[in-house]
């Protein structure tokens, strides 16, 4: 369509503009565990399938996944959250480390790490086991250490970025944000330029004055229901008390239609009668009745009568109440998320904006809201207009739902979805020396830290990947200099490299942690170091930085030198030796011998 290319370039420019944006994420961090199984028979004890576990995946969840998405989208993410001293906590730390999130979590030995374990067969979720709830409260010492971590992380981000950081609050009712922590965040609101809030219970956060809130439809309607029963004094701020029996963690989403699992309430023109259940009811959750015009919310929950429900969708209801939601939350922007129906967004101009998404299986959409929140926050922090922020947030959520697992949107994927070629977006992996100098200078003017490393990377293996991920976590931009084929032959011998330089470049460029690759012909990267002037120069090895030959040059240019240990028993030479040894072994008749696993 006309102007489509220009619009996509404008959106891509915003994605480039938020690169390195400092973001502090605080809240309920959890571990998502996915267990993929196969089943071909029922057990004898009950009509239940017998499952054989084939694969297990762990991923960051909740606030931790929001931080992972911020980092994957190009922001500088720091996570502050209580994490248990247990196996799940160790796995969560690994997830954060791999994603390049600054891990400032607080160890809580007496409080287990919340976990959501999903068992699947044929990509169908058969059951989910949750551990961790609001009863696992933080003790006084835990609260004090969490507040200290918040204060230190805020100052750390300000010092690193030279500007007030962005704050993202993820409150999912699991006890990571008790009253003293909420009070601290409200009191110190002025330390953050942009504040985003995603909370199951928005009533707890009235004093925060967030820039943006992202409630689900159920969370928004529950807030409106409480507000309808509140009687604030003239001129006083709205205070919403929790009704007796109100659940801490309500349904994640409800579908407009009829009351979940019950009988539709009596309204004028509607005769009570049995209805079919819809949505995700929670025990004890009250209901809101929507009248015949489809727009009036009353009561203490959400229900749409059967007559009105057919002609009214959730987007219409959300659009009609955006102004009230802004008033009740104190937010500049309200984005009501509607899962497969997209979202409705409203700001100070009173103009509702609707975005749409593509329906997918529920197992594909876990964490899509975290991607939405991360992109919306980064866009608003980069001063993008609200329509642009809403577009990018919906796009980030939509492109993550292609497969089963916890959703993470990468910056590169977002740019590709905008039809922005990596070179056109200023992020082409392979660059020449002159082009690299200009790219580095642009990032340096924006206050971003440049990390530089070099090597042959002949046979890319796990040790390389781990090393490069750790290197990327030391700054905002990772430049990898690769020895040319001639340079490798001079350093390693006439039978190296095993893989030509174009193959080595292709593999390095495919790694999410690598921003740019440059080839050098010399035996030493000294000239490139003088060109790049890295803030951090990284080498692999277990020796001190003083033994790195390039250390004096790097320090003379104002940079620091770091050495990172390799993964044990992983090296290119060892892999090549094993391959050669295997090729020299005498061939045996193995027709009757089982192959080794």
Per-residue pLDDT of the chain (597 residues; tens, 9 = 90+): 334 777 888 888 888 889 888 999 999 999 998 888 888 788 888 888 888 888 888 889 999 999 999 999 999 899 999 999 989 999 999 888 888 888 999 998 888 999 999 888 877 788 888 887 767 788 899 999 999 999 999 998 888 777 899 999 999 989 899 999 999 999 999 999 999 999 998 888 878 999 999 998 888 888 888 777 654 444 333 333 334 444 333 323 322 222 223 333 333 333 333 333 223 333 333 333 334 344 444 443 344 333 334 445 788 888 888 999 999 999 999 999 887 788 899 998 888 888 877 777 776 778 788 999 999 999 999 999 999 999 999 999 888 877 777 888 988 888 888 876 543 333 457 888 877 888 888 888 778 899 999 998 988 888 888 889 999 999 989 999 999 888 899 998 888 888 888 888 888 988 889 999 999 989 999 999 999 999 999 998 767 888 899 999 999 999 999 998 755 444 555 555 556 566 555 555 444 333 333
Q: Residue 467 belongs to what H/E stretch?
A: helix 462-472
CA dist 354 and 229 (Å) reads 29
- E strand intervals along 269-424: 288-290, 297-299, 303-304, 333-337, 343-346, 353-355
CA angle 168, 359, 300 (to 5 degrees): 60
Report d(CA 560, CA 116) in Å as an integer.
Answer: 41
370 is catalytic: yes
Place of tokens 């959520």: 397
Consecutive H or E run containing 486 = helix 485-492
Interatomic CA distance for residues 268 and 255, integer angstroms: 22
Q: Which of 504, 481, 479 is nearest to 427 (CA)?
A: 479
Q: Which of 370, 458, 476, 515 is catalytic?
A: 370
Q: Which residues of 503-532 are buried (b: 16+ CB within 10 A; e: fewer)?
A: ebbebbbebbbbbbbbbbeeeebeebbebb
Q: What is the number of other CB atoms lying within 10 angstroms of the CB of residue 327? A: 12
């Amino acid at each position: 369509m006309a102007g489509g290319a220009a619009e996509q370039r404008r959106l891509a420019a915003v994605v480039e503009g938020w690169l390195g944006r400092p973001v502090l994420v605080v809240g309920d961090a959890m571990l998502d565990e996915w267990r993929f199984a196969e089943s071909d028979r029922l057990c004898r004890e009950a009509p239940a399938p017998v499952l054989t576990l084939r694969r297990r995946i762990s991923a960051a969840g909740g606030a931790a996944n929001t931080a992972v998405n911020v980092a994957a989208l190009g922001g500088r993410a720091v996570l502050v959250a209580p994490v248990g001293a247990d196996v799940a906590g160790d796995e969560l730390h690994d997830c954060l480390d791999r994603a390049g999130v600054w891990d400032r979590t607080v160890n809580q030995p007496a409080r287990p790490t919340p976990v959501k374990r999903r068992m699947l067969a044929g990509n169908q979720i058969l059951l989910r086991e949750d551990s961790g709830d609001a009863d696992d409260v933080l003790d006084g010492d835990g609260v004090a250490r969490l507040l200290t971590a918040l204060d230190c992380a805020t100052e750390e981000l300000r010092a690193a970025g030279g500007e007030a950081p962005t704050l993202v609050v993820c409150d999912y009712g699991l006890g990571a944000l008790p009253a003293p922590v909420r009070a601290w965040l409200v009191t110190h609101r002025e330390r953050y330029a942009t504040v985003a809030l995603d909370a199951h219970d928005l009533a707890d956060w009235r004093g925060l004055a967030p820039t943006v809130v992202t409630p689900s439809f159920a969370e928004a309607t529950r807030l409106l229901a409480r507000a309808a029963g509140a009687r604030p004094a003239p001129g006083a701020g709205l205070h919403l008390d929790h009704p007796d029996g109100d659940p801490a963690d309500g349904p994640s989403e409800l579908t407009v239609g009829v009351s979940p699992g019950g009988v539709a309430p009596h309204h004028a023109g509607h005769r009570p009668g049995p209805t079919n259940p819809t949505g995700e009811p929670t025990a004890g959750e009250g209901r809101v009745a929507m009248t015949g015009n489809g727009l009036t919310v009353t009561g203490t929950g959400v229900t749409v009568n059967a007559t009105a429900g057919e002609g009214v969708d959730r987007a219409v209801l959300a659009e009609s109440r955006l102004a009230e939601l802004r008033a009740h939350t104190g937010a500049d922007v309200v984005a009501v998320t509607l899962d497969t129906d997209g979202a409705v967004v409203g700001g100070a101009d009173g103009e509702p904006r609707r975005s749409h998404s593509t329906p997918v299986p529920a197992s594909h959409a876990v964490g899509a809201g975290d991607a939405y929140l991360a992109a919306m926050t980064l866009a608003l922090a980069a001063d993008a207009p609200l329509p642009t922020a809403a577009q990018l947030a919906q796009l980030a959520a939509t492109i993550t739902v292609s497969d089963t697992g916890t959703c993470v949107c990468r910056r590169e994927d977002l740019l590709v979805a905008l039809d922005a070629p990596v070179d056109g977006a200023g992020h082409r992996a392979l660059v020449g020396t002159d082009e690299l100098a200009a790219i580095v200078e642009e990032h340096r003017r924006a206050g971003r830290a440049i990390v530089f490393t070099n090597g042959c990377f002949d046979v890319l293996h796990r040790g390389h990947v781990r090393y490069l991920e750790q290197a990327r976590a030391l700054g905002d931009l990772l430049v990898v200099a690769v020895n040319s084929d001639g340079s490798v032959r001079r350093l390693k011998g006439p039978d190296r490299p095993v893989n030509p330089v174009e193959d080595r470049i292709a593999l390095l460029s495919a790694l999410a942690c690598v921003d740019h690759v440059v080839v050098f012909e010399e035996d030493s990267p000294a000239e490139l170091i003088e060109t790049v002037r890295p803030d951090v120069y990284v080498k692999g090895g277990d020796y001190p930085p003083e033994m790195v030959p390039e250390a004096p040059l790097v320090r003379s240019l104002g940079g620091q030198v770091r050495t990172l240990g390799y993964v044990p028993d992983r090296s290119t030479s060892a892999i090549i030796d094993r391959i050669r040894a295997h090729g020299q072994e005498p061939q045996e008749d193995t027709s009757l011998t089982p192959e080794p696993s």
